[in-house]
Structure 1
Amino acid sequence: MHPMVKPALRRGWRDLNTVQFGMAPAHALTLGPVDTATGSFLDLLDGTRGLALLREEGRRMDLPDGHVDRLVAGLAAAGLLDDARGGGPDADALRERSDVLDRLRPDLASLSLTTSEPGEAMGRLAARRRTRVRVRGAGRVGALVASLLAGAGVGEVDVRDGGRVDPADVAPGGLPAEAVGERRDEAARRAVRRAAPEPAPRRSAGPSAEPGADGFSLVVLAPRDDVSVHTPDPAAAEPLIASGTPHLFAGVVEATGIVGPLVLPGETGCAGCLHLERTDRDPAWPRLVAQWRSGRRRPARACDLSLATTVAGLAAAHALAFLDGGRPSGADARWEVSLPTLQWHARPLWPHPACSCGAAARGKREHSADSGESHDTMAGQRHSKASRRTTVAARQAGTWRAHV
């Protein structure tokens, strides 16, 4: 291990014995009490020395025996330490591509703030290179989502859409003006290649399979049709539900941006659940949807450029959080923001008992299991998870003091 204090966190002294790492409350921590020698030793934790050499440096600075190991262990436990050579074989392979890694260093720094184990951030960034994502829809939102995911290091981003690029599709970071008149999906794939820090891995050519059957880690549904954004068609996602492929909805409808839900098949609410829930609340809903889908196509949709970019950014962030092993809030809700107030709010989405996706039935089985013989074990697991959530909540509420 080559310990390194996470460089993404700015450091400052609150007083003679207390050092603060980080400025933003969500990730800031304080460390104390810290004596002068230990404060000077922190500068040596830059990833260029292994533990053996750090112990020698500590002896030269007259630090007590074992102090270096206790300091390193304490910093690691507080989530302040990284490993300059950690992350496993995939991370080692990424380090050999210095040109690629230089492009991704801001992403690596961000990951270091959302991971706790030394070397974990580099491991997750390297793992992105092996993920595959398909984006269905190459308008102002979809094309930009695809470019953002590619630029963030996702190994393969495939884009599917029909028709040809029209002037209304053009957006900075997405489809360029010179692509007008070209096939929409081909133009979007070129945008993806321009955004990616390295070429996507080559795959054997062959006929395309149904969405969700090609081993994609995630499918992003970003339709250009505003009706499909507002009320996703459950039939369009049926192949994804059947194949167990996670999928995320995103788009803009009538100056309202929508991100979510992130559907984990059989576990969270899906497009069918959303339709059924809306019908429960409003019996006229199916009648309205039928009229919207059969209505005359509008010459231009209300898809403000800045709002489309905002939606694409949040959708890409949710997608990356999921690909990196997390469970973003979009897994149980649809996030919405409307002009001109631009206040994000979440609309919860629960599995519907009448939906064929089976998520509600699974939830009932798990609830029954909680009350069975495995109650004590699962209660312990829930306690452990609750403890971790409490720690995260405490860190997000403000600075957290660690004693080393």
Structure 2
Amino acid sequence: MPTHPLLKPALRRGWRDLETVQFGVAEAHAVVLGPVGSATAAFLTLLDGTRGRELLRHEARRIGLPEGRADAFIERLAAAGLLDTSTGGGPGSEELRRRGPAMERLRSDHATLSVIERRPGGALRRLAARRACRVQVRGAGRTGAMIAALLAGAGVGRVDVLDGGRVEPWEVAPGGHPPEAVGERRADSARRVARRAAPGRPPRPRRRAASEAAEPAAEELGPEPPLALVIGAPRDGLAVHAPDPAAWADLVMAGVPHLYAGVVEGTAVVGPLVLPGLTACAGCAERGRAVRDPAWPRLLAQWRSGTPRQVPPCDLALAATVAGLATAHALALLDGAVPASAGTRWEASLPYLEWRSRASRPHPDCPCGAAPAHTGTAHPSEDSPAHDTMTA
């Protein structure tokens, strides 16, 4: 139970009638509380995080609440997910509180997490957990660079970026590669973008020779945390629409969750999120597609072996949409939820941008091991829309 209870500021309050108060506007997180008498309504105004429990008991007696009613009401509010706390939360939370400017940058993210996290102090614990996470982005084109920046800006502590080649003029995007990065190495530019977006600076690495690794030494930053997630955002949209199982086998073997995101021609693609051993991997998807469409392996071989397009289609607004949605799904996973992209690919195509979901089933012949864990629940095929609209 919180020592300094605070009614969650992110939830707007409104009175439905003289004895019923509603917290929250959106139906997904709104809570209706009643009956609320005049003394109880006055007590609500005292829950601003500045008073401890003993002082609140004293104030409750002063405004006419019966003995014990204050504690019971606080417990009721906490059970309804309406209370936060201005203290506590463990060492990670305390460290974030001490990082004043960095915490100010994350205030809006903290407010959002407080809406979905029912436990008092849970929002700050989630932010602290993000800061301890390590996420890798494979691909630093238009979409990948924006994803790296969004992850870092949302408080993910370590964002690695892998890619080759140099930034092309058509890869410049707001929130991604800046115009002055044209000609620079893609991975270096994307890392720089992520560092600038991050709230607060990481520990300063020691000086090293140019031949040494560009990343800070492990002994200076503490033990390297394991990868919590890899986001595949290759510049070639085909590699998102039909990922090559061999390119992702290392993650399946290591049990590392990975999420595909990108733009193929005029279609935005987010997912599937692969949870190794639980949901279908790239190998499952490829095998299943070959069963449904016998011509698919022949087409795929031609597309993968053909001359790469010099300028791949990647609409700016579509790339930004993918980056935002992919980051939101990634953060949901890091925060402990299983987002709607798990085992499912979300697509939206220009010009109408109607979101569709396509389920990907574990394949019994795939060595990833997901098929035995599959419950057998009926899903539509990957080629058939499961829903007409995107669910939050």
Shift of 1:83: 1.6
Aligned: 1:222 with 2:210: no
Q: Does 1:135 align with 2:146?
A: no
The aligned runs of 1:34-73 (5 Å cut-off) are 34-73=36-75
CA offsets, 1:290-315, max 9 Å, x none? 11112232232221111100000000
Give the superposition deviation at 1:361: 2.5
Question: Which residue in the other structure is 2:275 paired with?
Answer: 264
More helix by share: 1
TM-score where L is the length of structure 2: 0.89
Q: 1:48 to 1:265 in 2, by over 3 A?
A: same
User: Who is 1:243 aligned against?
Assistant: 254
Percent of matched pairs sharing the same residue:
61
Q: Which residue of 1 aligns with 2:95?
A: 93
Structure 2 matches for 1:305-344, cutoff 5 A? 305-344=316-355
Structure 1 alignment gaps of length 5 or more: 368-395, 398-404
| Matching of residue 275 in structure 1 with residue 291 in structure 2 | no
Give how far 1:199 is off: 2.2
For 1:35, give the aligned amino acid: G
* C-alpha RMSD over aligned residues: 2.1
**2:17 counterpart residue number:** 15
Q: In structure 2, how many angstroms separate the alpha carbons of the residues matched to 1:190 and 1:207?
A: 15
1:197 aligns with 2:199: yes
Letter in 2 for 1:256: T
CA contact (8 A) 1:86 1:123 kept: no
Q: Which runs of 5+ in 2 are unaligned?
A: 216-223, 378-390
User: 1:263-304 deviations in whole A, cap 9, x for unaligned?
Assistant: 111111111111111111101111000111122322322211
- In the alignment, the residues of structure 2 paired with residue 122 and residue 264 of structure 1 have an alpha-carbon distance, to the nearest angstrom, of 26
**What amino acid maps onto 1:344 in structure 2?**
W
- Any conservation in 2 of the 1:247–1:263 contact (CA below 8 Å)? yes
1:371 aligns to what?
Answer: none
2:178 to 169, 172, 176: 176
Match of 1:346 in 2: 357
1:33 paired with 2:35, answer yes
Query: 2:134, 2:225 within 8 Å by CA — same for their partners in 1?
Result: no
**Counterpart position of 1:372:** none
Mapped partners of 2:325, 2:155: distance in 1: 17
Q: One-letter code of the match for 2:61?
A: R
Matched length: 365
Partner of 2:382: none
- Report the alpha carbon displacement of residue 249 of structure 1 after superposing the two structures with TM: 0.6
Q: Which structure's relative contact order is higher, taking Cα pairs within 8 Å and 6+ residues apart?
A: 1
| Structure 2 match to 1:231 | 242
State the one-letter code of the partner of 1:288. Answer: L
SS in 2 for 1:141: helix
Residue in 2 that maps onto 1:379: none
Instruction: Give the Cα separation in 1 of the matches to 2:109 and 2:29.
Output: 16
Corresponding residue number in structure 2 for 1:123: 125
Task: Return the TM-score normalized by structure 1.
Answer: 0.87
What is the identity, as a one-letter code, of the residue corresponding to 2:183?
Answer: G
Partner Cα separation in structure 1 for residue 204 and residue 361 of structure 2: 39
Checking the alignment, whether the CA contact within 8 Å between 2:281 and 2:368 is kept in structure 1 is yes
Deviation at 1:203, TM superposition (A): 7.3
Which residue is equivalent to 1:387?
none
Q: CA deviation at 1:129?
A: 0.8
Shift of 1:202: 6.2
How far has the Cα of 1:208 moved from its partner?
10
Give the deviation of 1:363 after TM superposition. 3.7
Aligned partners of 1:84 and 1:97: how far apart in 2? Answer: 15
Q: Shift of residue 362 of structure 1?
A: 3.5
Equivalent residue for 1:285?
A: 296
Provide the rounded CA distance (Å) in 2 between the counterparts of 1:318 and 1:158.
Answer: 18
* Alpha-carbon distance in structure 1 between the residues aligned to 2:348 and 2:202: 33
Letter aligned with residue 308 of structure 2: R
Residues 1:264 and 1:203: Cα distance change in structure 2 (over 3 Å): farther
